[in-house]
Amino acid sequence: TKVAAAKDEL
Amino acid sequence: MNIFRLAGDMTHLMSIVVLLLKMHTIKSCAGISLKTQELYALVFITRYLDIFTDFVSLYNTVMKIFFLGTSISIVWYMRYHKVVKQSYDKDHDTFRHYFLILPCFLLALIINDEFTFREVLWTFSLYLEAVAIIPQLVLLQRTKNIDNLTGNYVFFLGAYRGLYILNWIYRYFTDSHYRRKGITWTSGIVQTLLYADFFYYYIRSWRRNERLNLPA
């Protein structure tokens, strides 16, 4: 699944 | 991943290690706000609902498990550990944390990217993280003779926020798919500004080689 940009941060 | 993001994650990790060290080896939680720790546990629980459904990288998954596990165990230590809980400064840690939770939740219901269960809770976690440090800062102001580990804990936590803002600025210019919404910028900057006062006194006490003491 594709993850929105900010969601790859903690 | 850029250097600011990595350094930010590492200082965040360091802050938690410092805190666990204090509780696990010294068996003390003096000067630490349970309210703030409960808010952080809530932040991670509501933010990482995607942990088993959206895979980003092994690094992300491991860090998420680390933050979830440590934040919950810190709350456990402070509430239930026979020795640690005795050093908890309950009388001064009086900030009512639901005063923070409720407005953050209402704001997340109104301002979000998508009105879904997970998206609202994810947004809630961003807003709540921005203000979760407040009970801790209030407790620090009321504490005479802040010990080194507590001071370092808050320092690392503040450094993490500062580095994340640099990360966002860096990504804004280098990553064309990366556009942070105004509201996440705002909550991130609010959170970092909350530390400004603390940083001033932390650095001053370090330069003068004095014990950290915040003015009332």
Per-residue pLDDT tens, chain B, 216 aa: give them. 899 999 999 999 999 999 999 999 999 999 999 999 999 999 999 999 999 898 999 999 999 999 999 999 999 999 999 999 999 999 999 999 999 999 999 999 999 888 999 999 999 999 999 999 999 999 999 998 889 999 999 999 999 999 999 999 898 888 877 766 677 788 888 888 989 888 988 999 999 988 888 887
Restricting to B residues 108-147, those with a Cβ less than 8 Å away from any Cβ of A are 122
State the count of interchain CB pairs (< 8 A) between A and B: 31
Tokens of B34: 């349970």
How far is residue B39 from each of residues B126, B154, B177, measured CA to CA in Å?
12, 15, 31
Q: Is residue B145 within 8 Å of residue B211, measured between CB atoms?
A: yes
Tokens of B159: 């450094």
Note whether B50 contacts A10, CB cutoff 8 Å. Answer: no
Q: Is residue B181 within 8 Å of residue B119, measured between CB atoms?
A: no
How far is residue B62 from each of residues A10, B55, B71, measured CA to CA in Å?
11, 11, 14
Contacts of A5 in chain B (CB under 8 A): 171, 175, 177-180
Tokens of B139: 């407790």
CB neighbours of residue B210 within 10 Å: 10
